[in-house]
Amino acid sequence: MNTLPRLRRRVSAAFAPLSRPPALPVRAATGSEVVRAEGVTVRRGGRALLDGVDLTVRAGELLALVGPNGAGKSTLLAALSGDVTGGPARGEADEGAVLLLDRPLPEWTPPQLALRRAVLPQEASVSFPFPVAELVAMGRAPWAGLCAPGADDAAVAAAMDGTGVAHLAGRRFPTLSGGERARVMLARVLAQDTQVLMLDEPTAALDIGHQELVLSIARQISEDGGAVIVVLHDLGLAAAYAHRVAILSGGRIAAQGAPADVFTASLLGNVYQHEVEVLPHPRTGVPLVVPLR
């Protein structure tokens, strides 16, 4: 893919201040803890968006963060990634701590973080009309000087093929539909090739087929030893694909565990302030959450 040499020149300035390349990441063993939140609190405008949240995520696990609007899902994801804005220091929560691979987030440099966790924000903006192939290739920037060019090409091609955007390689990003843009941005994150993947509402702009595709990719990454944290509004998708769910309400975790254990009519009704029924799928047994109308 001929966009990568040009991309390397563009990103070289960002890595020029480094005296040496960051050390290559060592993948954590499946089942080991990779992300831990301890008493995480985030306050803005006198209100606690998160209030003393404790959470652990392990390699080999897909964790879904669910809850009503304003519950703190995206804020928690930002805190876990180190992307909280307005905190007391770079990306830090106001209180508590977040550890990535047993090290507090502030102890990682940005290049080190970029090799270990990738983040798909809820809204991603692109300043220039890059071609799709070049935009996806930007996900390889953290690996500059750390791997052979062929590895970059392979990672970009695999990410584009997996998300179904390879046929868009030459298209300019602004010309794409909302769903196409969402999948291109996901491909860029996948090309980053990190063990920890954090996705904020990755299915929001997608049709049902592509929603299933995205969650299937996320589930497979976790089955291969990755750790995936995904914010979802669709409780059906969370029940079908997540190993565990954390239900947020008012900035706190109301419950966490396997979907079959925590998706109860009484709990969801209280959290969402709307009565629901929870029924087992007739074929798979996966909980189906149906609002009462």
What is the distance between the terminal CA atoms of the chain, rounded to a whole angstrom? 52
Tens digits of per-residue pLDDT, 232-248? Answer: 999 999 999 999 999 99
% pLDDT > 90, the chain: 81
DSSP-derived 3-state class of residue 132: helix
Please compute the mean of the pLDDT values over residues 117-141 and round it to a whole number: 91
- For residues 185, 189, 192 and 198, what is the CA-based torsion angle, rounded to 10 degrees? 170
Q: Which residue has the tokens 């709307």?
A: 274
Choice between 224 and 20, residue whose per-residue pLDDT is larger: 224
21 pLDDT band (50/70/90 cuts)? Answer: low
Q: CA–CA separation, 15 vs 201, rounded Å?
A: 30
CB proximity list for 158: less than 8 A, separation 6 or greater: 190, 191
Write the CATH number for 123: 3.40.50.300
The alpha carbon of 42 is separated from its chain's Cα centroid by a whole number of angstroms, namely: 19
Q: How many domains does the chain have?
A: 1
Dist. CA 217–CA 250, nearest whole Å:
30
According to the model, what pLDDT value does residue 42 have? 94
Q: Is the pLDDT of residue 2 over 80?
A: no
What confidence tier does 7 reach under pLDDT thresholds 50, 70, 90? Answer: low
Q: For 173-217, how does the pLDDT look when each residue is reduced to its tens digit (9 = 90+)?
A: 999 999 999 999 999 999 999 999 999 999 998 999 999 999 999
pTM for the model stands at: 0.90
Report the pLDDT value the prediction gives residue 173, as an integer from 0 to 100: 94
Q: Which domain holds residue 91?
A: 3-291
**DSSP secondary structure string for all residues of 144-208:** TTTS-HHHHHHHHHHHHHHTT-GGGTTSBGGGS-HHHHHHHHHHHHHHT--SEEEEESTTTT--H
Average pLDDT, the chain: 91
Q: Kindly tell me if the per-residue pLDDT of 90 is higher than 70.
A: no
Q: What is the pLDDT of residue 105?
A: 95
